[in-house]
């Protein structure tokens, strides 16, 4: 496939090899969707808390990105740009539905234990509820930094690109969030 030099993007794949995409070519977007769909879906799910809505947002994210590929300057990571689109679309959808937007950790980061005992299920649900309540008390910038790095697995650099702040700011927000959650957990044990 011949690449249009005005629309070529170098992207890092999971093995840290450079991959070239022609952002004006729909065939390139098929590969971009394969590479980034799971991360975009997790980002949307962390905002919407509903899988069906998150899937719609994920699909719309790629449509919107393809339509506006000329707006991507190539300076940041493609995944960070897609994440930002997904988060913005999720917030738009939630605003329209007048639903609070915060992370649903239990759905975004489910464990797959085989047939846990009922007391374990009750305890896990209780801890998830306490964690969600604690995260609700944290400022949105701190919560987003925590969700992006701890829940979604983005690096501090990627989270910094998404938020438009320095890596140090992300590190500080994550550390302060961890400390706040640790205090909440200690209070729970007391």
pLDDT digits (tens, 9 = 90+) for 98-150: 433 344 444 444 444 455 567 777 777 777 777 778 888 888 889 889 988 88
pLDDT higher than 90, residue 176: yes
Q: Which segment of 43-52, 92-101, 148-157, 173-182 scores lowest on mean pLDDT?
A: 92-101
What is the band of 189 on the pLDDT scale with cuts at 50, 70, 90? low
Residues 180 and 146 in one domain: yes
Residues 12 and 35 in one domain: yes
Count the neighbouring beta carbons within 10 Å of the beta carbon of residue 143.
20
What's the structural domain count of the chain?
Answer: 2
Residues 21 and 47 in one domain: yes
Instruction: Tell me the percentage of the chain whose pLDDT exceeds 90.
Output: 24
On whether the CB atoms of residues 136 and 49 are closer than 8 A, the answer is no
Q: Residue 147: which of 132, 168, 161 has the closest Cα? A: 132
Residues 47 and 84 in one domain: yes
Q: Which residues contact 62 (CB under 8 A, 6 or more apart)?
A: 29, 32, 33, 37, 40, 82
pLDDT digits (tens, 9 = 90+) for 27-53: 889 899 999 999 999 999 888 888 888
Domain range spanning residue 12?
A: 1-101
Q: Which segment of 5-9, 84-88, 121-125, 139-143 scores lowest on mean pLDDT?
A: 5-9
Residues 188 and 143 in one domain: yes
User: What CATH number did the domain enclosing 146 receive?
Assistant: 1.10.10.10
pLDDT higher than 50, residue 22: yes
Q: Which residues contact 52 (CB under 8 A, 6 or more apart)?
A: none
Q: Residue 9: which of 77, 65, 74 has the closest Cα? A: 74
Residues 111 and 26 in one domain: no
Residues 1 and 81 in one domain: yes
Residues 96 and 111 in one domain: no
Name the CA radius of gyration of the chain, rounded. 18
Count the neighbouring beta carbons within 10 Å of the beta carbon of residue 139.
12
Q: What is the mean pLDDT of the chain?
A: 77
Query: What is residue 91's predicted lDDT score, i.e. its pLDDT?
Result: 83
Residues 86 and 107 in one domain: no
Q: What is the mean pLDDT of residues 170-178?
A: 93
Residues 76 and 126 in one domain: no
- Boundary of a domain, candidates 101, 133, 160: 101
- Boundary of a domain, candidates 74, 101, 128: 101
Residues 181 and 129 in one domain: yes
Residues 91 and 138 in one domain: no
Q: Highest mean pLDDT range out of 22-31, 54-63, 150-159, 175-184?
A: 54-63
- Boundary of a domain, candidates 101, 122, 149: 101
């Amino acid at each position: 496939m011949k690449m249009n030099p005005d629309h070529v993007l170098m992207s890092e794949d999971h093995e840290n090899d450079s991959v070239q995409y022609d952002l004006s070519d729909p065939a390139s977007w098929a590969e971009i969707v394969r590479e980034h769909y799971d991360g975009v879906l997790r980002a949307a799910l962390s905002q919407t808390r509903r899988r069906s809505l998150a899937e719609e947002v994920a699909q719309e994210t790629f449509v919107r990105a393809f339509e506006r590929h000329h707006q991507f300057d190539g300076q940041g990571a493609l995944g960070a740009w897609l994440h930002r689109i997904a988060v913005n679309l999720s917030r738009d959808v939630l605003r329209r539905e007048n639903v609070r937007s915060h992370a649903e950790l239990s759905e975004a980061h489910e464990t797959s234990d085989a047939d846990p005992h009922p007391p374990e299920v009750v305890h896990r649900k209780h801890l998830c509820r306490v964690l969600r309540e604690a995260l609700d008390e944290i400022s949105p910038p701190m919560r987003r930094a925590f969700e992006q790095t701890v829940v979604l697995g983005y690096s501090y650099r990627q989270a910094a690109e998404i938020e438009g702040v320095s890596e140090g700011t992300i590190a500080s927000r994550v550390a302060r969030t961890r400390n706040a959650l640790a205090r909440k957990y200690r209070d729970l044990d007391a």
